[in-house]
Structure 1
Amino acid sequence: MSTISSWDELSFQNVSESNLNLDHVLERILRFINQDPKCAYHFVIGTDSQVHRGHTKFVTGIVIHRIGKGAWACYRQLAVPRQLHSIREKLALETSFSQRVAGYFDADVVMRMEDLILPYVYQGAMLETYIDIDAGTEPIVNKTALYVQEMVDRVDAMGMYAPRVKPDAYAASAYANRYTKNRMVL
């Protein structure tokens, strides 16, 4: 389990593998796309967090979703050794962690994914890239609504990834969320 001081040691896992660095993750993604390159894909990065006693646990998920035909995903856990008291700080950190991972998956890396599907674009193949923000826009339902536009603007400024919020932000609000519940041992 990582603490914030070891952010540069990016290690991802899923139900069948652990200790995946970002090169390994990219290899799995390319292999997954290459298995069926005629499909439509969403490449999504999203982070969720949960406050626990003495720390806040952040989980960043990476998902390559073959629309209607399954997905490959992995996640990374990170602990900030303090509780966060501001919703804005929580959202800003979640967005920053997603952006940091997305920085590895830059235009050159995304082009490698696109190269696999390029011969099949006239048969429906496509790749869309997203950063999921674990925030909603309904002010009555979501305390995060006040900060949605700020986080959306941050993702938009990257230029390569489209921001998504709840209810569409499944990489953050569903996939990453499932791994935030258990307390980490620091």
Structure 2
Amino acid sequence: MSKLKVLNYSFQNLSQKNMSFEQVFSHIVQFMEKDRIGNYRLMFGTDSQVHGYYTKFITGIVIQREKKGAWACIRKIIVPRKMTNLHERISYETTLTEEVVSMFTEERKDQLIDIVLPNIYKGASFTIEGHIDIGSGNRNKTRIFVNEMVSRMESIGVEPKIKPDSFVASSYANRYTK
């Protein structure tokens, strides 16, 4: 594996820097094992911001136990040019989200499902969502990309969410793009 690839797969949050994907996955497992009867949402989303000479992309990973907290981290990618074409930027945001989702192999997803599976009759649940920073409202410039990006999320087996329900992209990741 090239050094560039390894550097790209570095995650961070407010308390930890330079986490590997294995460390991220381990945090998610530990978070879920604290309450095996929880309602969990594993959510992914990417947002971007065009700056002077570069474009910053932030992909967020959030594991939320509904009404009982969350653990989250981000992955930062810098593209050394201004990406002003909206379709290119939205498409690349979706690609980066797909890339991180793909790290959650069937085996890893099964490992997470197995945490709550014995307790589904007690109300436990687990869903995987792909949050896309686009909206379908008439005044939203990104509405013409909704079908394309939603189809891409569905094709990788995650439940697509668009604005106003795509808070991992439009709020959490957005905070770190500035």
TM-score (norm 1): 0.91
- CA–CA separation in structure 1 for the residues paired with 2:63 and 2:47: 17
Aligned to 1:12: 11
SS class of match (1:63): strand
Aligned to 1:105: 104
Whether the aligned pair in 2 keeps the contact of 1:54 and 1:83 (CA below 8 Å) is: yes
Aligned to 2:37: 38
SS class of match (1:167): coil
Q: Which runs of 5+ in 1 are unaligned?
A: 182-186
- Counterparts of 1:18-167 in structure 2, within 5 Å, are 18-140=17-139, 142-158=140-156, 160-167=157-164
Question: Shift in Å at residue 66 of structure 1?
Answer: 0.4
- CA–CA separation in structure 1 for the residues paired with 2:131 and 2:5: 20
- CA–CA separation in structure 2 for the residues paired with 1:7 and 1:144: 30
Question: Shift in Å at residue 155 of structure 1?
Answer: 1.2
Aligned to 1:168: 165
Question: Shift in Å at residue 8 of structure 1?
Answer: 4.3
SS class of match (2:12): coil
- CA–CA separation in structure 2 for the residues paired with 1:63 and 1:107: 18
SS class of match (2:11): coil
User: What letter corresponds to residue 161 of structure 1 in structure 2?
Assistant: V
Percent identical pairs in the alignment equals 41
Aligned to 1:177: 174
- CA–CA separation in structure 2 for the residues paired with 1:171 and 1:75: 10
SS class of match (1:131): strand
Question: Shift in Å at residue 7 of structure 1?
Answer: 4.6
Deviations 1:60-107 (A, max 9, x none): 000000001110000011100001121111100000000001001122
- CA–CA separation in structure 2 for the residues paired with 1:139 and 1:176: 24
Aligned-CA RMSD value: 1.1
- CA–CA separation in structure 2 for the residues paired with 1:162 and 1:107: 16
